[in-house]
């Protein structure tokens, strides 16, 4: 049984992927505010405010996580030099709102390389570099969009569904008694969701999302999902029989 999930002061070092914008950046800010050391990974540091970049507790690591050769060596190096990382938040992801009528295999590759395979690579490197125990926290960023198939989510949805299954699999073994968290947010206002042309229900700011995640990540429980009631509506969709579910999605989303 996990107890006292919040680590001691000397162990407060977090590894966050997708740290340059949106939820990942907001998480970096939240952890810095809480007195942690933060290692943030992304491709483009220019999006990060100078105040954060100058913070001695923040280290930016430039890497393209979809370039597996390079990221293997970069992440290995980070892990070798930072054996006291306590929390891993695998957050980086891309959102390409392709539907069946306009998707491309190229976009499918980009989505799965970034959203799924890069996570497997990072997990392998975590396993090789750390003697994982109940002191460690591993959080995987999925989405409520992974609960069930949605219109215009031919690539993103399945990539996030894979992550839900992956986190469930790790949790179901949990031979190391790790604190494992699956994070499934609804809509958060970030550069990724700017492409949406529809009104996003219960849209939340990244800082609010990061606050909720930090508040729940060291508490008991497996899934962190918000905002209520959007997450409950999406969960309800999960258990609806297909006939009713598709009646709803076709009516609500598909008609132009
Ligand atoms: N926003 C939402 O409504 C929402 C809802 C549920 C789940 N999520 C999930 O939350 C996570 C963060 O998304 P966000 O909404 O905050 O979007 P965002 O602002 O676009 O952030 C995505 C982050 O991932 C990084 N990234 C993307 N591709 C990368 C690559 N190849 N290598 C390294 N870093 C890469 C980006 O940095 P660079 O571009 O600088 O590399 C950026 O820091 C994603 O996994 C997303 O699926 C978002």
What domains can you pick out in the chain, each with its CATH number?
Answer: 9-254 (3.40.50.720)
Say yes or no to pLDDT of 2 above 50: no
Cβ atoms 240, 149 nearer than 8 A: no
Return the residue whose CA atom lies nearest to atom 25 of ligand 1: 18
Give me the DSSP letters along 39-91. EEEES-GGGS-HHHHT-TTEEEEE--TT-HHHHHHHHHHHHHH-TT--EEEE-
Distance (Å, whole) CA 156 – CA 134: 31
pLDDT at residue 7 greater than cutoff 90:
no
**Average pLDDT across the chain, whole number:** 94
pLDDT tens-digit profile of 130-139?
A: 999 999 999 9
Beta bridge partners of 224: 183
Ligand 1 atom nearest residue 20's Cα: 43
Residue 199: half-sphere exposure toward Cβ, Cα within 13 Å: 3
Give ligand 1 pocket residues (Cβ under 6 A).
18-24, 42-44, 47, 63-66, 91-95, 114, 141, 143, 185, 187-188, 190-193
User: pLDDT tens for residues 34-67?
Assistant: 999 999 999 999 999 999 999 999 999 999 999 9
Of the CA atoms within 13 Å of residue 112, those in its CB half-sphere come to 10
CA of 25 to the centre of ligand 1 (A): 9
pLDDT tens digit sequence for 103-143: 999 999 999 999 999 999 999 999 999 999 999 999 999 99
d(CA 142, CA 84): 25
Asked if residue 4 has pLDDT above 60, the reply is no
User: pLDDT of 187-232, one tens digit each?
Assistant: 999 999 999 999 999 999 999 999 999 999 999 999 999 999 999 9
Residue % of the chain over a pLDDT of 90 = 91
């Amino acid at each position: 049984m996990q107890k006292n999930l919040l680590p001691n002061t000397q162990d407060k070092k977090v590894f966050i992927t997708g740290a340059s914008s949106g939820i990942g950046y907001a998480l970096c800010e939240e952890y810095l505010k809480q007195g942690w050391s933060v290692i943030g990974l992304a491709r483009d540091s220019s999006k990060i405010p100078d105040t954060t970049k100058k913070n001695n507790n923040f280290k930016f690591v430039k890497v393209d996580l979809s370039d597996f050769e390079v990221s293997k060596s970069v992440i290995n190096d980070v892990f070798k030099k930072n054996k006291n990382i306590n929390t891993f938040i695998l957050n980086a992801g891309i959102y390409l709102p392709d539907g069946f009528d306009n998707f491309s295999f190229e976009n499918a590759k980009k989505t799965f390389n970034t959203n799924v395979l890069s996570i497997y690579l990072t997990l392998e490197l975590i396993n090789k570099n750390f003697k994982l125990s109940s002191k460690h926290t591993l959080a995987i960023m999925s989405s409520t969009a992974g609960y069930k198939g949605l219109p215009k989510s031919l690539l993103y949805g399945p990539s996030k569904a894979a992550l839900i299954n992956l986190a469930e699999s790790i949790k179901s073994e949990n031979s190391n008694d790790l604190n494992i968290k699956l994070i499934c947010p609804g809509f958060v206002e970030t550069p990724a969701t700017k492409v949406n042309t529809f009104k996003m229900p219960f849209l939340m700011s990244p800082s609010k999302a990061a606050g909720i995640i930090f508040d729940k990540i060291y508490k008991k429980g497996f899934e962190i999902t918000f905002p209520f009631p959007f997450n409950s509506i999406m969960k309800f969709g999960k258990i609806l029989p297909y006939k009713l579910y598709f009646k709803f999605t076709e009516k609500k989303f598909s008609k132009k």
